[in-house]
Structure formats: C-alpha cells, structure tokens
Structure 1
Amino acid sequence: MLWHSFGTIIALLQEIIVVYPALSPPTLSLLASNRVCNALALLQCVASHPKTRSHFLEARIPLYLCAFLQTDSKTRPFEYLRLTSLGVIGALVKADDTKVINFLLQYEFVPLCLHAMTIGSEVSKTVATFVIEKIVLDDAGLGYICATADRFFAVGTALASMVTSPDDKPSPRLLKNIIHCYLRITDNPRGLEALQTCLPTTLKDGTLNNLIRDDPTMRLWLNQLLVKVRGGEMGGQPPSVLGRMPRV
C-alpha cells in the first residue's frame, strides 16, 4: 500500500529532501530529525518487503540516504538519522539478493558504511558492519573489496578500529560481525595473504576472550580465522600485503 498508493512515496521523499540544507552546516534539530526518521522507517518497510524491494532499487531511492550517511556530526539528531538510514540499507541486504549487493557496490555504499563504522555509535557501527558482512558474504562483494589494495585497507582499517581501542570494547554482537567479516575475507587468496600481517593483535592474544566465550559460533569462527591466518604464517613466501593489487 505504501508503494502503490498515489503520492505516498513522493511525500516521504519530500520529508527527506527538506532537511538537506540543515546537514551542512549541521543545524538539524532533534524534532526535524525525528520527523525524517519516521519517513525513513516507512521506507524501510518498503525496502524489506519482497514485492516492493526491486521497485525500491529500480527507483534508486537509497541514493536519497547518501547525504545522511556522509555526515560527520555525532550529535543525537545526526546519529538518529545515520542509524535509521543504515536500517534501510540493512533491510535490503537481509534478503541475500545479489541484485542488492550489486546496487550497493555500483553506487559506492561501502565507503559510506565504513564511515559509519568509524564515527557512529555502537548501534550504528553494528548495523554498518552487518551491511559490510552481508556484502563480503556475496562473491561479488568479496571480489570488489579484495580487488585493490585501497579497498581492502579501507575495510581492514574500519574493522580494526573497532577492536583495537583500549577504552572502547565492541559489544559481543558487533564483535561477532567483525570476526565473520575477517573470516570471509580469508576465502580470497589475496585477502588471506594480507590478513597474515594485519589481523589485529587483540583477536590473536586473548584480549577479547571474555566477549567470545559464551557464543559457540563466535568461538568457532575465531578459531577458523586464526587457523587460516597462522597456517599461512608458518611457511611459503613472505606476504606482500596486497602490494601486487592495482590501485584505483
């Protein structure tokens, strides 16, 4: 009904567009942010429904959210906007549809998610990492991220930033997503080669064991990750850290 009723989607897009001038300089009020988030919540319903998801992508509606994901402010109005926008993207990737992944790759949503992983709240980081996890689980997404050194290190830096801070440990849920991302990257030969030298020490020295011990799946994934990474460290040629990859 939201998609097919006359004028509804246009009205929701107008709710989004009207706050663009308040993004830079950052003057968005909490009231205006809540109003936009309500519109985004309705769009998330459209994005998650199997009968409207393809229409949602064909209309390029996620592109209207890029401006919200590019913001740098950590104030509540902007964080709510960032989180709700990520929720729309998260609803899309839950479908495990290659068309969704190809859309996100084509329109450069990976850097936007990495930005949220760097500056967002714990919840925003978790949703953004979930999106990256879904992208790398797709063969096209894994190939995209490991295709160049620049892309790999952008992803690797964002993932590492969430597990190396001495004062800010990730939640178990976020850590699980991070470990799964790393494990999937090892399925790519060049990704595995790079992780043999740049996997964060905190994942190897037991620093985060207290967050892992109660989750059998997370323990299994971390063990598989360490076996693959350390297996490569025991012999063979020295890793090139993706140095042979073309830069773009």
Structure 2
Amino acid sequence: MKRRISSLFNPKKEGKKAEKTTREHSIEGMTNLPQSFSIGAGGGFGGFGGVASPSLAGAGASANNDRNMQSAEQLVLDLSNPELRENALLELSKKRELFQDLAPLLWNSCATIAALLQEIISIYPVLSPPTLTPALSNRVCNALALLQCVASHPDTRMLFLNAHIPLYLYPFLNTTSKSRPFEYLRLTSLGVIGALVKVDDTEVISFLLSTEIIPLCLRTMEMGSELSKTVATFIVQKILLDDVGLDYICTTAERFFAVARVLGNMVGTLAEQPSSRLLKHIIRCYLRLSDNPRACDALRGCLPDILGDTSFQSCLRDDPMTRRWLQQLLHSVNGNRVALQAGGFDHML
C-alpha cells in the first residue's frame, strides 16, 4: 500500500539522511519504498530487450527475497551490538517494508525489543529541560518506526500491547516543546499508537483508555503541528467510534467538555488556516459524539457556529463524504430539540 507521509513532510534541508528517514511515517503507513530489483529491468540479457520469461522472473524474485531476508536478519542481529546499532536502525527503518515478516523477526529475536526500548529510555533525561538534539531525535524515531512495524503486524500486535510497550512512548507525547526534534518525536510516537487503533479492536481501545491516552492526544491537538494534530485527532476518532470509547468520554461532563473544547479550538484555528484532512477528522469526532443523547444535547451549546455557515465550503468542495457527515451532524444537533428525559450534562454539572 502506498504510504503518504513523505508527501506530508518535505524537509527543506537534507544534510542529515537519517532525519529524512524518520519523517516517512503516517497514520496509514510508513515509507515510499525503493523500486524492487527485477531480472527484466534495464537492457536485459543477451539482446532479448530486457524481457524475462516468467520462470526467470519468478526465480529472480525468490532469490531477491532470500537476499532481503538474509540482510534483515543480519541487521536485526546488529541491533544488539551498540557499535552497529545506529546504522542498523537506519537501514531497517528505511527498508522495513522491503523485508517480509520483519515484525515477527524483531519480536522473536533475542534482546531486540530490549535494545529498541533502551534507545527510547536513553533520551528521557533530555526531555526536561528540553535539550533533545536532531541527531538523538532521529535515532529514536528510527527505533519507533520499527516498533510501529511490530504494532501493525497481526501476529505481534497483541503481544506488543500485552507487554505494555506503548507506555514507554507516553513521555514523548507529554512534551510541550515545539522544536523540530520534539515534533518529529511526537509524530512518530503517535504513528505507533495510530497503528494500534487502525484495526478496530475493543481490547486495544480499553488498554489505551486505561492508560490515559486521551489527555495526551488532547495536548498534541492543542499545540502540535498540523500533521501531529491530524494523527492525534485520528486516534481520538478511532477511540470514539468504539462503543467503549464513546461511553468513556461521555460518562462525565468533565471528559466530554475537555474533548469538545479542544475540538472547538481547532475549528477556530482552521478558519484561518484551513486543512481539509484535519477538518475531516474533527467533524467525524463531533458526529460520533452526537450519537450519545446527552453529548448531543450538550453540543447544541458548544458546537462552533462556523461549522453551520459557508466558512468551510471551499475546504470541503472535493470531499463529499465529509460534507455529508457535517450535514448529519448539524441535523442531529439542531434538528431535534426535544428535551432529554434523563437530563443533559448541565444537569450533571
């Protein structure tokens, strides 16, 4: 599957090859892969115009896969060697999707996950006061990219979760520095969480809620870059779409209004700096909140008026799905003003 993050990050300077690698992450995937080798590429063999027979092409692909796997195994072994680890992190993060079943290899090889966690823990002291350098940020982001690979794989996802590895990333999401090294660190950490919630699984949602992921996402939604805000809002959206997540956020007025306040602030910011991608996730969050009767009643008093006028008409011109969500939201919130028998959040407060 094509990965989109490289089109989102476009770094202005490339004196740091490793730094470029760490930006190639997103809520959907990780990297634009180099073109695979092919026996029929180029000028071909013996004047046959570069056209290989199916049997030759198949043999070539198999041999290439074997070479890739041997290379992956060696690089994974190198992770356990402190002197070779930095290069291994870089090479594996760049080529992780070129290596089949890299996630099980990372998880099941001796001391590999421990080495990745060691990389993460090693920079805790520079988080406060914020003295994280680009080189350190890049190196840890490469380690996080490999953890995202593990979090994405169906054979290792629950093992990853049951080991409570996401908790090691939470200190990065709790930072407030807006410098580039910290922003990349937040974004890559969010990518790992995003990989977990991308597959609908109530057990994943319950774990994240029990470890207080919502306040960390709200922090990023308030002060992160557009891309970090988008990934954090996507995570909140996926949590809300699960019944357990919706019930959790709508159980108390404090939780609901904390989420609604941040969503409202982002809508106000988007009025000046539109982003159709971010707006899409915000509207989906609002629409899901409106499925809860008390939350829907409360939205009548806190849903931004700007969503009901033409301010975002041009922003959503090419997104009929989000326009339909917005229409459903406005109808749910404004189209039915019958008082709730159980009372709304105002009654709870």
Q: Which residue of 1 aligns with 2:204?
A: 100
Residues 29 and 3 of structure 1, relative CA distance in 2, 3 Å threshold: same
2:133 pairs, out of 20, 24, 29, with: 29
Q: Which residue of 1 aligns with 2:26?
A: none
Q: Which residue of 2 aligns with 1:242?
A: 345
Give distance in 2, aligned partners of 1:52 and 1:179.
Answer: 32
Q: Which residue of 1 aligns with 2:160?
A: 56
Give distance in 1, aligned partners of 2:249 and 2:299.
Answer: 13
Residues 180 and 3 of structure 1, relative CA distance in 2, 3 Å threshold: same
Deviations 1:83-140 (A, max 9, x none): 0000000000001111110001000001000101000000000000000000000000
Three-state SS of the structure 2 residue aligned to 1:51 is: coil
1:123 pairs, out of 219, 222, 227, with: 227
Deviations 1:12-37 (A, max 9, x none): 00000000000000000010000000
Give distance in 1, aligned partners of 2:265 and 2:195.
Answer: 25
User: Which of 1 and 2 has greater Rg?
Assistant: 2
- Tell me which amino acid in the other structure corresponds to 2:329: L
| Cα RMSD, aligned residues only | 1.7
Give distance in 1, aligned partners of 2:193 and 2:262.
Answer: 18
1:245 is displaced (CA, Å) by: 3.1
- Tell me which amino acid in the other structure corresponds to 1:112: L
Identity in percent: 62
Q: Which residue of 2 aligns with 1:174?
A: 278
Gaps of 5+ in 2: 1-104
Where do residues 85-164 of structure 1 align in structure 2 (5 Å cutoff)? 85-164=189-268
Give distance in 2, aligned partners of 1:174 and 1:239.
Answer: 34
Provide the TM-score with structure 1 as the length reference. Answer: 0.95
Paired residues of 1:191 and 1:242 also in contact (CA < 8 A): yes
Give distance in 2, aligned partners of 1:166 and 1:91.
Answer: 26
Give distance in 2, aligned partners of 1:238 and 1:49.
Answer: 46
Give distance in 1, aligned partners of 2:313 and 2:189.
Answer: 32
Three-state SS of the structure 2 residue aligned to 1:232 is: coil
1:157 is displaced (CA, Å) by: 1.1
Q: Which residue of 2 aligns with 1:3?
A: 107
Give distance in 1, aligned partners of 2:278 and 2:342.
Answer: 28
Q: Which residue of 1 aligns with 2:45?
A: none
Gaps of 5+ in 1: none
Paired residues of 2:294 and 2:340 also in contact (CA < 8 A): no
- Tell me which amino acid in the other structure corresponds to 2:135: L
Structure scoring higher RCO (CA < 8 A, sep ≥ 6) equals 1
Give distance in 2, aligned partners of 1:112 and 1:85.
Answer: 11
Paired residues of 1:146 and 1:191 also in contact (CA < 8 A): yes
- Tell me which amino acid in the other structure corresponds to 1:232: N
- Tell me which amino acid in the other structure corresponds to 1:47: A
1:161 is displaced (CA, Å) by: 1.2
Give distance in 2, aligned partners of 1:186 and 1:167.
Answer: 22
